[in-house]
Amino acid sequence: MNALNLRPSPIAGTWYEGMPTPLAARVDEYIADAQLPEISGQVIGVIAPHAGHKYSGRVAAHAFAALRGLSPDLVAILSPFHNFAPYQLITTSHQAYATPLGNIEVDQPALEELQKNLDIPISPIPNDKEHSLEIELPFLQRIFHNGFKLLPVMVHAQEEEVAKKLGLALARTLKKKNAIIVASTDLSHFYDQQTAHIFDHEMLRCFESFNPYSIFEAEHTGKGFACGHAAVAAAMWASQKLGADNIQILNYATSGDVTKDYSSVVGYGAAVITTKRNTSRLKQK
């Protein structure tokens, strides 16, 4: 069997632990410490932050702890793309993502199916430096012990139309699959703690409203901010089509809660997307 063409990690050893044993221990600690409220309904997906683990890991762990007990075959991750690229939607051109915890294979047939369902090109690029998608992978590797595959999409175009088309196409792609959706986003950036709380709670309220249009309205009017707002909106549209009817905020904090510097902070929120309907899509362990 030929070796997989791997996307090497540009952030292991800086944004998170670079060696397998300490990385696994740190992620396991975050997940074990996560205190979840009662979650009712079947989990369709989660929303998680994407800063370095020491800053947002404890918040992110609440989202991934909500996935305990599930055993998906496929995880679709929607994230922003923070770097320059002349493309609206981006994916990796590699066959798998490499982290210190091992490799996660990209589900090429699912990616091809998504592209067939979508009239916007998903452009594959090599050696991307995007952290917002990769930073979630060690959590998935510690939560899911089966050989799940990845459907990675980085959303560069922050337009409502692009997000909606992606979301509806993703729903068609995942409809008969044993899959989970992960939306990656941070909240406001570099305001003082008090101001960040105002902006962040408005954006989290938009998340809980399960109205993707409200996310764009908050962003465009300056009432709230999320660098992955289009990725979250796309995940909402996809989840709704898959039967989801509720988004529950699980945890919120800022970088200031870690660094104790409250003069300029980044906001982090974790949420779970659920349905009260029994869709029988997801396998239990």
Report pLDDT digits (tens) over 254-276.
999 999 999 999 999 999 999 98
Question: How many Å apart are CA 8 and CA 35, to the nearest integer?
Answer: 33
Tell me the pLDDT band of 2, cut-offs 50, 70 and 90.
low
Closest CA to 89 of 124, 116, 114: 124
Enumerate the domain spans of the chain: 6-275
Percent of the chain with pLDDT over 90: 94
Residues 102, 250, 222, 237, Cα dihedral to 10°: 70
Question: How many Å apart are CA 154 and CA 53, to the nearest integer?
Answer: 20
Closest CA to 146 of 64, 70, 94: 70
> Does pLDDT of 61 surpass 60?
yes
CATH architecture entry for 6-275: 3-Layer(aba) Sandwich (3.40)
Per-residue pLDDT at 276? 85
Question: How many Å apart are CA 170 and CA 186, to the nearest integer?
Answer: 22
Alpha helices in 39-136 (DSSP H): 53-65, 108-116, 131-134
Residue 198, amino acid: I
DSSP 8-state code for residue 157: -
Per-residue pLDDT at 261? 98
DSSP 8-state code for residue 44: E
Give the angle 106-110-112 at the CA atoms, nearest 5°.
100
| 72-114 pLDDT, tens digit each | 999 999 999 999 899 999 999 999 999 999 999 999 999 999 9
pTM over 0.85: yes
Per-residue pLDDT at 284? 53
Give burial (CB, 10 Å; 0-12/13-18/19+) of 2: exposed
